Homo-oligomer: A and B are copies of this chain.
């Protein structure tokens, strides 16, 4: 079994780095072959543009998705993208490890998705959700917040973490067919003392040991959607 941890934090001694290290140790112990993409250390290019391709599909008008499809079919992806894509394709478990910035991914990690989730390779018109091309893989979001847990929840100031993470869970991971495990969230990290940090790290290790007992989040099914569309069309045609 392969695991890929994509880690995005500018500080090498961050709590996110400690969480990453717990995952490396725990998964290695459990028999996984673990790879880490440390995006800041790699100075990973965040911005999707024409420089991502050694091929040109349309020189007049740049459409990212069409250039990705063309490049993927003609060995035209740059080595940094091709290498990350190969890691993604061989992994059984993808972990995204990042601090929640503005209710979302740090730009460098969003850029990893924009560039590495290549159109035609990880998804296609009829290859979405349960028919996605990354089907069979599991994905886990592990993130940290600066705010305390009481700021998050259905009736709390910032709303529920599930809603905050929904575009990532559904629109990236579920969209491409992965089984999305319930997220692991550590709150109030900058204000946690040494004991609290140690407890949070221990808890994460326990969580990773018990991965196989977790139930994936519900995701849409493409066939249901197509059937519903067909029914609507028939009803309209009547």
**Once the chains bind, are A164 and B159 in contact (CB under 8 Å)?**
no
**Does A7 belong to the interface (CB within 8 Å)?**
no
Find the B residue at minimum CB distance from A39. Answer: B47
What 1/0 mask marks residues of chain A from 206 to 238 whose CB sits below 8 Å from any chain B CB? 000000000000001010010011000000000
Judge whether B108 and A102 touch: CB under 8 Å.
no
Interface hit among A57-65, A81-89, A195-203: A57-65
Is A46 in contact with B108, judged by CB distance below 8 angstroms? Answer: yes
B residues less than 8 Å from A190 (CB atoms): 63, 65
Contact B172 A157 (CB under 8 A): no
Indicate if the CB atoms of B164 and A164 lie closer than 8 Å.
no
Number of A residues near B (Cβ < 8 Å) is 52
User: Which residues from chain B contact A175 at a C-beta distance below 8 Å?
Assistant: 102-103, 158
A168 to chain B, nearest CB (A): 7
Chain B residues with CB under 8 Å of A128's CB are 157
A172 & B102 in contact (Cβ 8 Å cutoff): yes
Note all chain B residues with C-beta closer than 8 A to A229: 150
Q: Is the CB–CB distance between B11 and A171 below 8 Å?
A: no
Chain B residues within an 8 Å CB radius of A225: 156-157
Interface residues of A in 160-178 (CB under 8 A from B): 163-164, 166-168, 170-172, 175
| Contact A13 to B61, CB < 8 A, known contacts A163-B163, A166-B159, A170-B158 | yes
Complex CA distance for A174 and B62, rounded to whole angstroms: 33
Q: Cβ of A69 < 8 Å from any Cβ of B?
A: no
Give the interface centre of A13, A47, A108, A220 by most chain B CB atoms within 10 Å: A47
For residue A111, which residues in chain B have a CB less than 8 angstroms away from its CB? Answer: 46-47, 107-108, 111
Write 12 A-B pairs (CB below 8 A) sorted by A numbering.
Answer: A11-B63, A13-B61, A46-B108, A48-B106, A102-B110, A104-B110, A150-B229, A156-B225, A158-B171, A163-B166, A163-B167, A167-B167
User: Closest 10 A-B residue pairs measured CB to CB?
Assistant: A103-B171, A107-B111, A103-B167, A157-B225, A11-B62, A46-B46, A107-B110, A46-B107, A10-B49, A107-B107
